[in-house]
Structure 1
Amino acid sequence: MATETSLQGNMRQGNLGDNFAQEQFSDKETFQWTKQWYPVAVVDFLDPSRPHAMQLLGKDIVLWRDGSSKWRCFEDFCPHRLAPLSEGRVEPDGTLLCAYHAWRFDYQGNCISIPQSKDQQTEAKNCSNPKSCAVAYPTQERQGLLWVWAEAGSQAQLESQSQTPRIVPELEEDSQRVVQGFWNIRDLPYGWDFFMENVADPAHVPVSHHGIVGNRYKDAKYYDMIPVREISTQEGFSYEITPVAATIEQAVHDFQPPCHMRIVSKSHDGGKLILALYAIPTRPGWCRHIGCQVFVKNEEGKLPQGLGIFGLPLPTWLGHVLSSLFLHQDMVFLHYEEKIVAQRSKGKWLDAVYTPNPQDKMVIAFRQWLEKRAGGGIPWNSGHGADLPPAEKDKQKLLDVWTTHTQQCMVCQKALKRINRLTVLAYVAAAVCFCLGLIVDARAVALKGAMLGQTTTSLLTVVPPAGFWWALAGTIIFAVVGYLLKKLSRLFYVYEFEHAHND
């Protein structure tokens, strides 16, 4: 299975380590990027009352739910004047209406109404013309995700039915032992390949995610990566980590193209933690990440330990908000790394990097699979080109959360509205408590002055009653709660992070 001939040059430079054996890439088959299922959204996070603009392989697409409560996908343009259908409306009859001239389309993309037609006969004739149809892509819902086949047309409908999406097998089981965590979704400002490279590299975890998962000074240790499943054009490959932590029996990273990385940690007691990670190539320099944790209890019903704080039973919206703490720890360098690699590699990734340790074996295998088996990269839609966008120097824009998640997530939008209401109520309650405290204090001073006939100067020395102190305490508590809620609401918009300050 293994051979060293394909990378002898790099080995002479010490780029792969003395004991690394490169997988053989003699298979002539090429991975077909468009003949695949891609998860593009989490169904529960979508607002069914309106269309949603998305991107896939550089194509602009629109998602919408029809009258039968099924989600559909069209290419995002009206055939009339090419206005975006994502700016249209989902009508009560379950059709998609273009907001420019009110053309309507059914779930198959057929145009069923052209209001400006001369008469019904003319309208029927124009609607029957294939040029009036929207471009429809096959869709299906599996495991809470909306999957889109990346080709349109009748042939694509047939081909899509013969292939199964990269689902999580454990979630198909009817077992009380399987517990699914919340789905998280986020648009990330770096490419699909850099996401996959990153999650194929467990060595970065205790360093990049210091303080959340591991410690950069204690846990960055030696290990090897052993091939478990041979490299396949269509099925990918997998590697096992050795040695592993004392509590772990086996840890395997399994790459399943086009978009799934399955990371399984099996405990000695029989429990399993599965990280189901998806990366969807949306446009050059960007990808969409969808992921969740799946817990498999052991025979005694004990759950395995999850990934940091994300293994706790968090509300979905809170998990989404806190995910920035984790995702931004990678984002702050992957965004720039992608641009540097593009400038320095000139298409030869292995020539540009120095990878002497065995921890990089899976990353190298991934890059070789991409180059030898998958055409060298994503075949972006020609309308978008393949040029990377420039590096974002404004950290607030780079670390933006609103446009990359919140505005697309119905769950987080509802949570944000509730938090904003509670913030206002907390500040109002603080103001009311403060006013009550002043009233109580003033009444106490006035009453004592009337009883004793004290002068104004001596009244200033009167100790406020208990009611004043309770009101003051309430003022402080409600003001602090309001401030903390305001800080929390900011995480729905932006989360700024620097490794230099992560002690």
Structure 2
Amino acid sequence: MTSQTNLPGEVRDVTPQFTESEKETFQWTLQWYPVAVVDFLDPSRPHAIQLLGKELVLWRDGSRQWRCFEDFCPHRLAPLSEGRVESDGTLLCAYHGWRFNSEGNCVSIPQSKDKQAEALHCSNRRSCAVAYPTQERQGLLWVWAEAGDSAHIESQLRQPQIIPELESNSDRVVQLFWNIRDLPYGWDFFMENVADPAHVPVSHHGIMGSRYQDDQYYDMIRVREMSTQSGFSFEVVPAGSKLSQKIHDFQPPSLMRVVSTYKDGGQLILALYASPTRPGWCRHIGTQVLVKNEAGKKPEGVGFFALPMPNWLGHVLASLFLHQDTVFLHRQEKILARQGRDKWLDAVYTPNPQDKMTIAFRQWLEKRAGGGIPWAGESSSDLPPIEQQDKQKLFDVWTTHTQQCRVCQDALKNINRLAMVARVAAIACLCLGVIMDSRTVAMKAVVTGSTSLLTAPPTQFWWAIGGAVLFAMLGYLLKKLKRLFYVYEFEHAQND
């Protein structure tokens, strides 16, 4: 039987008993993981990524298909992500010029004695790069987390966790922008966080409600039983004054799907993906999907993020939301590691039903998924990386997003150009105003013979000075906006 009791005492166990079919263990490598938004990738160069502790490289071949290799050249183990995508659609290792086709086969070894020797070397399996299956679905690039001869066949037997509503081609379905960010806390803490609606009005005070008014009691009722491969889901009861239903649906390994159904029939769907990259880090990719009701009315989205805006602006403004709980999630992971507890439930106190789904997630991880992620190679340390005390590094945006996002890099270049134009225009207006004032004084001196400096400036002077002030203000605002591409610092003590 499943325990749904929250009083008296503590909510500790919300998992059903195992059935024979559920004694299997979740296989972390035999899964599709979303690793990038295709439109945000620069196809002219390779991109280094991490997945399950593996160092990988993404690149687009001559057929315009994105490929994924392990990030090393078989020759001398130089990183292929530091190489080049050549005009013939091959990936070139920039160390010695070896080239690889889309399947990972080596097609060129320039230092070979002759063409015959080159062909012989290239035909050796040891010359091949290690290739992983990939596919593009719904604007995302997905990578199968295992290579090898059987990986292609196995990957065809499982579908990625797409958003069914986006397959319908209905004019009632509106997708907002994709956002992507590398986050300085583990995959499990990301999933724990998005399984916890109770933190939203408190942590995200000012964007998603009020910490003083919206932190209300509710229960969480399981509506889909726990499955090793398919996860589980819980319903929030009551859903809220505007909603008829709200369900959090965990679909391992990457998706938390949050569906809010409004009383008028509209729906807000949050597709919150997270892929485990390395210990203490995960890559989050998310979007909002708005489903209009029968009358064609579009439902509310998440705060101001539902307003029409270009992708780059949505990306930089996402920091206002994401950074509100970044420090919590980063540090609670390190606190748990320092305590050395074998079980998560032994380290926390969970007396209220709002934690039921979080508890269920931890129990799925422990009982169905081997207790945690099987990191590859040297990344298999039991402890996450050292706690980061410098909050500014936790709030870094450049290395966790901007430098990997073609859309934001292009926007930043345009903002820099506009800022330069604003500065030049401000100086030009100021100089023009001075010239106009000087001419007025000179002309009056010629006409009246007076050289008094108390002559009132002409109207054109004030227009020029006003223009200088406006352009200077524009330059200042652009400078503030530019900073969001690099870092956004947040303190709850200052969020009134």
TM bin, normalised by shorter chain, reads over 0.9
Report the number of matched residues: 493
Aligned residue number for residue 402 of structure 2: 406
Aligned residue number for residue 17 of structure 2: 24
Aligned residue number for residue 222 of structure 1: 217
The 2-side partners of 1:313 and 1:25 are apart by 47
Matches within 5 A, 1:388-427: 388-427=384-423
**Deviation for aligned residue 1:393:** 1.4
Correspondence 1:381 to 2:383: no
Q: Is the 8 A contact 1:141 1:147 kept in 2?
A: yes
Provide closer, same or farther for how the CA distance between residues 279 and 416 of structure 1 changes in structure 2, counting only shifts above 3 A.
same
Matches within 5 A, 1:38-57: 38-57=33-52
The SS at the match of 1:15 is coil
Matches within 5 A, 1:460-475: 460-475=453-468
Aligned residue number for residue 111 of structure 2: 116
Q: Deviations along 1:247-299, whole A, 9 cap, x unmatched?
A: 11100000000010000000111111000000000000000000000011111
User: What is the identity, as a one-letter code, of the residue corresponding to 2:448?
Assistant: L
Q: Deviations along 1:18-37, whole A, 9 cap, x unmatched?
A: xx754335632100000000
User: What is the identity, as a one-letter code, of the residue corresponding to 1:450?
Assistant: V
**Deviation for aligned residue 1:13:** 9.5
Gaps of 5+ in 1: none
Aligned residue number for residue 330 of structure 1: 325
Matches within 5 A, 1:9-20: 14-16=9-11
Q: Deviations along 1:151-189, whole A, 9 cap, x unmatched?
A: 001211100001000000000112111111100000000
The SS at the match of 1:62 is strand
Q: Deviations along 1:198-256, whole A, 9 cap, x unmatched?
A: 00000000000001110000101000000000000000000000112221110000000
The 2-side partners of 1:307 and 1:356 are apart by 29
Q: Is the 8 A contact 2:224 2:233 kept in 1?
A: yes
Q: 61, 73, 83: which is aligned to 2:56?
A: 61
Q: Deviations along 1:376-400, whole A, 9 cap, x unmatched?
A: 0000002323231111111221111
Q: Is the 8 A contact 1:114 1:127 kept in 2?
A: yes
Aligned residue number for residue 194 of structure 2: 199
**Deviation for aligned residue 1:447:** 1.6
The 1-side partners of 2:490 and 2:447 are apart by 60
Q: 21, 24, 31: which is aligned to 1:36?
A: 31
The SS at the match of 1:301 is coil
The SS at the match of 2:213 is coil
Q: 171, 180, 201: which is aligned to 2:175?
A: 180
Q: 149, 153, 156: which is aligned to 1:158?
A: 153
Q: Is the 8 A contact 1:25 1:373 kept in 2?
A: no
The SS at the match of 1:44 is helix
**Deviation for aligned residue 1:347:** 2.4
**Deviation for aligned residue 1:342:** 1.3
Q: Is the 8 A contact 1:40 1:146 kept in 2?
A: yes
**Deviation for aligned residue 1:451:** 2.2
CA RMSD of aligned residues (A): 1.5
The SS at the match of 2:27 is coil
**Deviation for aligned residue 1:77:** 0.4
TM superposition score normalised by structure 2 = 0.97
**Deviation for aligned residue 1:12:** 11
Aligned residue number for residue 499 of structure 1: 492
Q: 435, 438, 442: which is aligned to 2:434?
A: 438
Among all aligned residue pairs of Structure 1 and Structure 2, give the percentage whose two residues are the same amino acid. Answer: 71
Q: Is the 8 A contact 1:332 1:498 kept in 2?
A: no
| Deviates further, 57-66 or 340-349 | 340-349
Aligned residue number for residue 171 of structure 1: 166
Q: Deviations along 1:365-418, whole A, 9 cap, x unmatched?
A: 000000000000000002323231111111221111000000000000000000
Q: Is the 8 A contact 1:186 1:288 kept in 2?
A: yes
Matches within 5 A, 1:269-418: 269-386=264-381, 387-418=383-414
User: What is the identity, as a one-letter code, of the residue corresponding to 1:428?
Assistant: V
Q: Is the 8 A contact 2:374 2:380 kept in 1?
A: no
Aligned residue number for residue 210 of structure 1: 205
Correspondence 1:266 to 2:257: no
Q: 99, 104, 117: which is aligned to 1:104?
A: 99
**Deviation for aligned residue 1:450:** 2.6
Correspondence 1:147 to 2:130: no
The SS at the match of 1:262 is strand
The SS at the match of 2:110 is coil
The SS at the match of 1:154 is coil
Q: Is the 8 A contact 2:15 2:363 kept in 1?
A: no
Aligned residue number for residue 245 of structure 2: 250
Q: Is the 8 A contact 1:103 1:111 kept in 2?
A: yes
**Deviation for aligned residue 1:136:** 0.2
Aligned residue number for residue 453 of structure 1: 449
The 1-side partners of 2:470 and 2:431 are apart by 15
Q: Is the 8 A contact 2:25 2:368 kept in 1?
A: yes
Q: 62, 65, 71: which is aligned to 2:66?
A: 71
Gaps of 5+ in 2: none
User: What is the identity, as a one-letter code, of the residue corresponding to 1:388?
Assistant: P
The 2-side partners of 1:21 and 1:400 are apart by 37
Q: 120, 123, 140: which is aligned to 1:128?
A: 123
